[in-house]
Amino acid sequence: MIIDVFSDPICPWCFIGKRRMEKALDQNGLAGRATVRWRTFQLNPGMPAEGMDRAAYLAMKFGGDERAAQIYEAIRSAGKAVGIPFEFERIKRTPNTIKAHRLIRFAGRSGRDGAVAEALFQHYFLKGHDIGEDDVLCDIAAECALDRDEARAWLVAGEDEEKVREEHDFAVSLNIDGVPCFIVEGRYAVVGAQEPEAFGPVFDLVREEERQAAGP
């Protein structure tokens, strides 16, 4: 079973959605058996390449600290329920995520895209690291058993940048306007950071189709 996950490393609900999907896979006997592929979506495609100050970003997106605090308190509560201790106060800059998505693609060549996606979430949301910076991304690559020098060369050369942008545009063409979005077997979508139980009927449907296709 193939699950394509459209997400953005700076989306807290994508981090929560990852945990809930993992629980759903475990509950349905698919942990370690399903192929999970990480796909590009940018929450802020117009973000300057260097990112921007976090406070300025929150003011622009939510209209100020008070509204942002209300929204992030709900996210913090949802995160706690799945074992994610969000540390939003540590985040000083909101990055452009093109390079982070490119690193995921680099890792995908070695089957390490899931590990890199997890590490990006952790570095950003738990440690407050700027995941738009090459040094941070190279640290993540090394942490995920990838070659640091190869990762840096990939980033510096701009490898797969056009493909990352095309993948975002493809997501938009599918009417994906928010993430996470989980596409199962290229046909069925679970939209948003749904509870694990929301995945079960989709998994059952795919498995039934596979049984019917296999014949008697």
CATH number at residue 22: 3.40.30.10
**Count of structural domains within the chain:** 1
Model pLDDT, residue 167: 98
What is the pTM for the complete model shown?
A: 0.96
Compute CA 196 distance to the chain's CA centroid, rounded to the nearest angstrom.
17
pLDDT tops 80 at residue 89? yes
Model pLDDT, residue 65: 78
pLDDT tops 80 at residue 177? yes
Model pLDDT, residue 43: 97
Mean pLDDT to the nearest integer, 179-201? 97
- Confidence at 214, pLDDT banded by 50, 70, 90: confident
Q: What backbone torsions phi and psi does residue 152 show, to the nearest 5 degrees?
A: -65, -45
pLDDT tops 80 at residue 215? no
- Confidence at 66, pLDDT banded by 50, 70, 90: confident
Domain extent for 85? 2-214
Mean pLDDT of the chain: 96
- Say how far apart CA 13 and CA 22 lie, in whole Å: 14
- Confidence at 64, pLDDT banded by 50, 70, 90: confident
Mean pLDDT to the nearest integer, 162-178? 97
Over pLDDT 70: what percentage of the chain? 100
DSSP E strands: which ranges in the chain? 2-7, 35-40, 52-53, 93-94, 181-184, 188-191
> Do residues 28 and 198 lie in contact, with contact meaning Cβ atoms separated by under 8 Å?
no
Over pLDDT 90: what percentage of the chain? 93
Using alpha carbons, list the distances in angstroms from residue 19 to 117, 124, 148, 210. 12, 16, 27, 26
Model pLDDT, residue 192: 98
- Cis upstream peptide for 9 (omega within 30°): no
Using alpha carbons, list the distances in angstroms from residue 161 to 44, 88, 175. 16, 28, 22
- Say how far apart CA 166 and CA 164 lie, in whole Å: 5
pLDDT tops 80 at residue 201? yes
